């Protein structure tokens, strides 16, 4: 009986030592890296040009925060047409602009997840985008001299509605650096959703 007790005590001591060793080893071992959620920085824009300063600012933020840049082309669809109808001319402009932004971002090691959003107005398209997508920052270029695009009222609306930090960037009046279409997009057949790919962009 005494021998049995000795054996049980010895076994408990061995198990305790092994357990303590494994616990200490697990604490010393570096913890496995848990992938964090991918962050997105939204860059909404309209038309056939965008401020290069706004694009570069969005890319710097994305690179600093390890985020994905989400350029989003806002396309207006006339009320006379179904909202989800084919819009070949708008699609052609969008694809060319998005391609130029992606090339610039890729050259700097910034991942891109592009979007095209439709709406009856630019604000409507932006509202649909806010409902569908998740993002941490919004960098929106303000147009100088009342150019085409989001109006002052649209920007105020965005500040009130966006569920994220909003950075409105208006370049200096003499800063005309921009990404823009080199020449107008030619009309495409109604059955096509993308304009001819030989169209190119320039960085002014």
Confidence (pLDDT) at 203: 44
Residue 195 has pLDDT above 70, yes or no: no
Q: What mean pLDDT do residues 129-147 have?
A: 82
Does any domain span residue 27? Answer: no
Does any domain span residue 88? Answer: yes
Q: What mean pLDDT do residues 74-96 have?
A: 92
Q: Give me the CATH number covering residue 178.
A: 3.40.50.620
- Bigger pLDDT: 111 vs 186: 111
Does any domain span residue 176? Answer: yes
Residue 63 belongs to domain spanning: 40-203
How far is it, in rounded angstroms, from Cα 11 to Cα 183?
A: 84
The DSSP-derived string for 7-26 is HHHHHHHHHHHHHHHHHHHH
- Bigger pLDDT: 38 vs 76: 76
Per residue in 13-26, pLDDT (tens digit) is: 444 444 544 444 44
For the chain, give the percent of residues with pLDDT over 70.
64
How far is it, in rounded angstroms, from Cα 101 to Cα 200?
A: 12
Does any domain span residue 69? Answer: yes
Does any domain span residue 59? Answer: yes
Confidence (pLDDT) at 20: 47
Confidence (pLDDT) at 190: 41
Q: Which residue has the tokens 């147009």?
A: 143
Confidence (pLDDT) at 140: 92
Residue 188 has pLDDT above 60, yes or no: no
Number of structural domains (the chain) is 1
Does any domain span residue 186? Answer: yes
Does any domain span residue 57? Answer: yes
Percent helix, strand, coil in the chain, to 5, is 40, 20, 40
Confidence (pLDDT) at 142: 81
Confidence (pLDDT) at 34: 41
- Bigger pLDDT: 203 vs 40: 40
How far is it, in rounded angstroms, from Cα 88 to Cα 85?
A: 10
Does any domain span residue 164? Answer: yes
The pTM score is 0.70
């Amino acid at each position: 009986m005494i021998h049995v007790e000795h054996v049980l005590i010895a076994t408990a001591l061995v198990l305790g030592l092994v357990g303590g060793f494994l616990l200490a080893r697990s604490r010393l071992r570096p913890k496995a890296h848990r992938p964090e959620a991918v962050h997105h920085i939204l860059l909404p824009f309209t038309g056939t040009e965008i401020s290069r300063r706004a694009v570069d600012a969005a890319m710097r933020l994305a690179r600093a925060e390890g985020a994905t840049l989400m350029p989003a082309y806002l396309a207006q669809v006339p009320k006379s047409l179904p909202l989800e109808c084919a819009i070949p001319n708008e699609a052609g402009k969008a694809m060319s602009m998005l391609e130029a932004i992606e090339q610039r971002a890729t050259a700097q090691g910034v991942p891109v997840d592009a979007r095209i959003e439709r709406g009856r107005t630019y604000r409507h398209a932006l509202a649909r985008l806010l409902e569908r997508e998740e993002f941490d920052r919004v960098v929106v270029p303000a147009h100088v001299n009342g150019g085409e695009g989001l109006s002052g009222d649209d920007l105020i609306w965005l500040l009130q509605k966006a569920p994220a930090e909003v950075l409105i960037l208006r370049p200096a009046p003499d800063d005309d650096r921009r990404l823009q279409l080199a020449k107008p997009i030619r009309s495409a057949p109604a059955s096509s959703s993308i304009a001819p790919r030989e169209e190119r962009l320039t960085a002014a």
